[in-house]
Amino acid sequence: MKFLMLVSTFFLVSTVSISAQKFISKSGFVKFHSHTPVEEIMATNNVAASIFDPSSGEVQVSMLIRSFSFKKKLMQEHFNENYMESDVYPKSTFKGKVVNIDQVDFKKDGVYTIQIEGDITIHGVTKELLTQGTIEIQKGIPTAKTDFTVLTKDFNIQIPDLVKDKIAKEIKVTVNIQYNAK
């Protein structure tokens, strides 16, 4: 009887500690890419922060707009000062969840396809985002990847007529976050 109680207590404690574990990343990678026949614009950010709760599937990502790095100096200045107004809106965030989290087995290495839904905030405007991605599990630690497209007009980003041909209306966003145990 004592043995049974001991075993059940052990399982209870294990379950609680697994469900309480969260994953964190402070070096998430985010890239955006604008393609037009006139100009290719690409910027990357290697310091996005994220918290991921594997038991509920809840995920939060936040990044600093001024952490995006461009190849051309003038592009970076225009991006921060004219289009993203990064002194007024210094961060972009995503708050949502992996809808099919029950299909991800954190104890088994592999790549799992995931559905993500939530709210994305860019330039002070919040929109619903539905997208697909993957979670790769290696020794219990997840790496999440996704890409999606955002429209500049949806986030009230004004592009002057003079450079309209150089900046795409649709911007492709790529995300790659390797988590650590919290």
Partner 1 sequence: MKRKIYIPISVIIFLGIGIWSFVNQKSAVTVGTKNPEYEITAEKLYMTFSENETEANKIYLNKVIKLTGKVQKAEHTEEGVNVYLSTEGESSGVICNFEPGVVDTDDFDEQNNVTIQGLCSGYLFDVVLVKCDLVR
Residues that bind partner 1 (CB under 8 A): 24, 26-27, 29, 44, 46-47, 49, 62-64, 66-67, 69-76, 87, 90-91, 176
Shortest gap between Cβ of 18 and partner 1 (angstroms)? 21
Query: How far apart are the C-alpha atoms of 37 and 167, rounded to whole Å?
Result: 10
Measured from the CB atom, the residue of 47 and 99 that comes closer to partner 1 is: 47
Shortest gap between Cβ of 89 and partner 1 (angstroms)? 11
Shortest gap between Cβ of 110 and partner 1 (angstroms)? 22
Measured from the CB atom, the residue of 1 and 74 that comes closer to partner 1 is: 74
Query: How far apart are the C-alpha atoms of 44 and 174, rounded to whole Å?
Result: 9
Query: How far apart are the C-alpha atoms of 47 and 62, rounded to whole Å?
Result: 9
- The CB density around residue 149, as the number of other CB atoms within 10 Å, is 13
Measured from the CB atom, the residue of 67 and 115 that comes closer to partner 1 is: 67
Q: Tell me, what amino acid is at 22?
A: K
Measured from the CB atom, the residue of 166 and 169 that comes closer to partner 1 is: 166
3-state secondary structure 35-49: ECCCCEEEEEEEEEE
Shortest gap between Cβ of 100 and partner 1 (angstroms)? 26
Measured from the CB atom, the residue of 62 and 115 that comes closer to partner 1 is: 62
Q: Do 24 and 51 contact (CB within 8 A), yes or no?
A: yes
Shortest gap between Cβ of 140 and partner 1 (angstroms)? 19
DSSP state, 164? Answer: T
